[in-house]
Chains A and B, each alone.
Chain A
């Protein structure tokens, strides 16, 4: 059975401008190649057969983790390995490292990029929910110039995002949640590196008195898109995360799920697991916010 990719023409521009120009020319016949660990397996199984690949690996402007005002800006071609290794991110946005360590395996993390993980619309990817949780902004470049899209507005369906044809994600901009914040990415999986059966991303800040001052909850792989659990979030803000509130938040999170049925479990199970992950992520985030 063919597990060899179909033929394609290979392009390796050295600037974002050139990449955008190439993609504009190819239209439907061109796709970007980032880390390749989503696209190449699909090409081997002949589920994707782009006649032209535009390799972003030679564009230095797409790398790097920098501060800009109060934001941290991460180049789209930053690998998971680089995210994990970054002291800046480890200090300011530890949720990223915790999530990244649960993605795939060491080899995949050496090449897999943050941009690839957030931009292709695969509901199984972990970073999109995390970006929604962090209220990240995606910086996107196309023929018409740069624009910015909120992660919370980016995902429209399975493999269907707000990216227009020919646009490239260039960077991800995140305002760090602030010193003393709590975070957690709780991912239920069949084995390490698997896509989530269900996962919840939580960030929150707590007051001295133990109330949640701000927060966000998002869910992975329990719908066609990652989910920002707005209702659940509103329920926990202002609360002390008492049992009753958490229970309500779990119900609210469950209510927005519509998981696929696959070998990870029935939709009912996965919905329930989304709830369990939310509860556990809230508990861990609170513990961390309290200095635990």
Chain B
């Protein structure tokens, strides 16, 4: 080496490995409108499918007449449940151990449920024909109130389960009951409450919302009659799962099913499960012998696909009089709609809800969840929720604020008193989760200092006095949230989807000229995987990120994986990537040793090369070793340079964060202005800070929308009143606040690169921060809990009830 040789630092910078703000590879096609989304796909002879849907929430189907629809020129076929029964596909299994109608079989159970599927040679013709399917309904009393679902005489939603007292998760206590699930220690917790100095109890309601990605769900199914093979393009966050499930239900052998998820316009959990549209398109393709495209419109998406939340959590905290928490209790009613299609891991009907002790050192805790059926759309686990973690975080963060108010303690001080301490990690919670790492106090103090917390509270005090004197009609709120979430599902002993363990994979092949390809079992819907996985490989193998092609989504070529949701890509496939790299590196090291005629142990790694210890002018770069792998390997060694890793994570990962929100509420209109939002996230090792910031911005915007106005609302007759973008609140750039992002880094000790994942943190921590801010604004007037969404009229009504309008 001489003065001309780049330094380690210079070489590392050129690689664009982990830690740098690498510009995204996928942008090049997206900014030119050259993405390849499902609706861009055109196959020769392709037909179009469209649904006829039920206007009623609960009704018997007396008759379906498809004659007029079938007679429209250009219509090729019309499917109903009767047609699907001939291929045993009128019902399909859900991811939650339930079954779901593909097309309405005898009755409809929620408004806009699929009744018939029209297939035509043109999307306009399919629309016309779908309008002409005549259905005779006999309306039934409906119920959209989860608290009424288990009442005596409540309308029976699932007649198909009438004679099944046992559900997928144990005994059902009522015909509309799905499961009861519990975690923690009831006896100890009850004891803690019995002897507590101070307790609070509040119904923390998290309304039904919907992930609403900008691209709706869609697919193109193409069955090749000659080969007996099905090719299925679709908006699939978990393409391999779709393939396996598709094979099990269609009986087409799995090796003859090719599932391809191309570019996906946002997922957020909405595109994990299988929908009627996919099944009907597949059947239609088999029946017609032509490719069939199904695209969903926005109203269909909002009113029938995987919703999120709808969790009603009666939450209790027990505390000593000087503010040490001693117990947590939560009883939840969960509204699952008409079918339990929750995308949870099998053993977890309420997901990872038992993370509800959050960031706090609760010695005792117990939670119990009852899932019920109502006349609403099926689903439940979606929208950056990490499997019910958003619900749990909301409950605990609201409860901590409510308890702080009762104790007359500052909410941040109360949290600092109860946060798990650094020395306690790895920490086992009262619910049995082993939190991998955390330095909560550092993060909390950094957040408070960054926003000038003390000063904000002083300002708030002054404003409260001014309000009481009638000098202002604005109230100021400071919302604090310190969340811990659990992601990276997950260890096979705990997590499986329909029996398939939740490992994930990376298969890396380096080419002779030193570039390479990596294929994974995850599937980006905007998270930038083509950019970030390459950064991991660049750091691990010393090959420039630009020289690594990343591929996901084609089940023929990608190794088996469980897909991308629940912030699992980095924790699981990111780990698999690192592990596969290390296998390659180990082989490369042996080749290098052979070429340099030294022992393996005489070599040390330096960014992109192995050099001889004590003799650094003698080295072999990874590029040279790649060539050597195909040119001349040591005797007895296989040529080639590739590896595959299926990673079964030893544990979940536990990202955490401290969020502080400052809001000003106009008491006379209920309008809330978000003055400031500061988000500190700790996701362990930060692979691409630019992408992390983008994830935080996006997740906080979703959280803002949820907290401040989103709702999938049903009236008493089961009509969805918020099924279009007129009423489902998606903020524009005008309403969306400015986001300040910050971080600390506490690596995960069990993860090969110490990374934890971050995509969902902002939704987990954001919603409570906003809601706590609104609630904090009114707390000085005696308000305990104002439920979400915090839209104008509801805040105003709360103010009215408090007598603030004179």
Contacts and interface: CB of A to CB of B under 8 A. Distances in A.
Contacts of A6: 128
Contacts of B709: 190-191
Given A263-B713, A264-B793, A265-B792, A2 B731 contact: no
A17 interface: no
B734 A269 contact: no
B600 interface: no
B65 interface: no
B732 A191 contact: yes
B671 A188 contact: yes
Given A2-B127, A192-B732, A269 B797 contact: yes
Nearest to A4: B127
A192 B735 contact: yes
A1 B734 contact: no
Q: Quick one: which of B128, B299, B669, B709 has the most chain A CB within 10 A?
A: B669
Interface in A116-148: none
B299 A3 contact: yes
B297 A1 contact: yes
Nearest to A270: B793
B735 A276 contact: no
A96 to B, nearest CB: 21
A4 to B, nearest CB: 4
Interface in B732-791: 732, 734-735, 791
A194 B731 CA distance: 11
Given A2-B127, A46-B131, A263-B727, A188 B732 contact: no
Interface in B101-129: 112, 123-124, 127-128
Interface string A44-75: 00100000000000000000000000000000
B445 interface: no
Contact of A190 (B50, B53, B713, B729): B729
B796 interface: yes
B734 A192 contact: yes
B722 interface: yes
Contacts, number: 71
Contacts of A157: none
A276 B668 contact: yes
A197 B793 contact: yes
B793 A269 contact: yes
A89 interface: no
Interface in A241-279: 262-266, 269-270, 272-273, 276
A2 B50 contact: yes
Interface in B305-359: none
B130 interface: yes
Contact of A1 (B50, B123, B792): B50
Interface string A191-220: 111100100000000000000000000000
Nearest to A191: B735
A3 B729 contact: no
A1 B51 contact: yes
Contacts of A1: 50-53, 112, 130, 297, 299-300
A40 to B, nearest CB: 14
Contacts of A273: 669, 796
A3 B792 contact: no
A192 B734 CA distance: 7
Contacts of B300: 1
A224 to B, nearest CB: 19
B793 A4 contact: no
Contact of A266 (B123, B671, B797): B797
B721 interface: yes
B129 to A, nearest CB: 9
B734 A2 contact: no
A269 B299 CA distance: 28
Contacts of B127: 2-4
A2 B128 contact: yes
Interface string A1-23: 11110110000000000000000
Nearest to B300: A1
A190 B710 CA distance: 11
A4 B124 CA distance: 6
Interface residues on B, range: 35 or more
Contact of A191 (B52, B53, B729, B793): B729
Contact of A4 (B53, B112, B123): B123
A263 B669 contact: no
Nearest to B711: A263
Contacts of B792: 188, 190, 197, 264-265, 269
B735 A263 contact: no
Contacts of B299: 1, 3
Contacts of A188: 669, 671, 792
Contacts of A264: 792-793
A270 B713 CA distance: 19
B735 A2 contact: no
B721 A263 contact: yes
Given A191-B732, A193-B732, A269-B796, A2 B791 contact: no
A273 to B, nearest CB: 6
A191 B713 contact: no
Interface string B654-671: 000000000000001111
A272 B792 CA distance: 12
Contacts of B50: 1-2
Q: Quick one: which of B668, B722, B793 has the most chain A CB within 10 A?
A: B793
A270 B670 CA distance: 12
A1 B55 CA distance: 11
Interface string B47-66: 00011110000000000000
Contacts of A265: 792-793, 796
B94 to A, nearest CB: 22
Given A2-B50, A192-B735, A266 B297 contact: no
Interface string B67-94: 0000000000000000000000000000
Contacts of A197: 792-793
Contacts of B669: 188, 273, 276
Contacts of A2: 50, 127-128, 130-131
Contacts of B124: 4
Nearest to A124: B726
A179 to B, nearest CB: 32
A104 B505 CA distance: 47
A263 B297 contact: no
Contacts of B805: 272
Interface in B642-681: 668-671
B528 to A, nearest CB: 28
Nearest to A189: B792
Contacts of A269: 670, 792-793, 796-797
Nearest to B724: A45
A266 B729 CA distance: 17
Nearest to B114: A1
A92 B463 CA distance: 41
Nearest to B52: A1
A18 to B, nearest CB: 29
B786 to A, nearest CB: 15
Contacts of A46: 131
Contacts of B731: 191
Nearest to B728: A263
Interface string B670-710: 11000000000000000000000000000000000000010
Given A266-B797, A276-B668, 10 more contacts: A1-B52, A1-B300, A4-B128, A188-B671, A191-B734, A263-B722, A265-B796, A269-B670, A269-B797, A273-B669
5 tightest A-B CB contacts, nearest first? A265-B793, A2-B127, A4-B127, A192-B734, A269-B793
Interface of A: 1-4, 6-7, 46, 105, 188, 190-194, 197, 262-266, 269-270, 272-273, 276
Interface of B: 50-53, 112, 123-124, 127-128, 130-131, 297, 299-300, 668-671, 709, 711, 713, 721-722, 726-727, 729, 731-732, 734-735, 791-793, 796-797, 805
14 contacts: A1-B51, A1-B53, A1-B300, A2-B128, A2-B131, A4-B124, A188-B669, A191-B735, A192-B735, A263-B711, A263-B727, A264-B793, A272-B796, A272-B805
